[in-house]
Amino acid sequence: LFPAPPPAGVAAAPAAHAEKGRASDGKWARRYEAFTDDDFKGFETTSTGLQYKIVEEGYGVKPTTGQKIKAHYAGYLENGAKFDASYDRGSPLAFEVGVGRVIKGWDEALLDMKVGEKRMLKIPSNLGYGSPRAGGGRPPPP
């Protein structure tokens, strides 16, 4: 999620082998209504303010800085409106993690995730796209 006004949500699963070799259809990340405080119960908070909840444990090792990974994601505003999703395109986003190719909140979260792990993230604006008012409140496309 990218909190701000308007905040957003991002669910992400790194690596090419999500669900132990099977491609994910993204059903686990679908959202049809606004987020509430209850949706964020049980989230961990890092020292940077990134909040996350592990939805499904991964396996294997975590990626290293500069390693190329593939991550499926769905991004939502706090009102439940989807702004982007790799699941809709049927293809995960491929990039080098930890080197600024994506927003800071993603780099931080993905470097801490194992292959196939699924997390729900709530990303503060300083780890997302910046000022809550930047871009009229909509994140830019990846």
Beta strands (DSSP E) in 51-107 are 51-56, 68-77, 82-85, 93-96
If pLDDT is split at 50, 70 and 90, which confidence band does 13 have?
very low
Give the model's pLDDT for residue 122: 94
Place of tokens 């989230």: 43
If pLDDT is split at 50, 70 and 90, which confidence band does 141 have?
low
pLDDT in tens, 22-69: 567 788 888 889 999 999 999 999 999 999 999 999 998 999 999 999
Measured CA to CA, the distance from residue 29 to residue 136 in angstroms comes to 25
| Predicted confidence (pLDDT) at residue 18 exceeds the cutoff of 50 | no
pLDDT in tens, 57-88: 999 899 999 999 999 999 988 889 998 999 99
Q: Tell me how far CA of residue 139 lies from CA of 70, 117, 135, in angstroms.
A: 20, 24, 7
Closest CA to 93 of 70, 60, 68: 70
Q: Which helix (H) or strand (E) holds 84?
A: strand 82-85
Tell me, yes or no, if the pTM score tops 0.85.
Answer: no
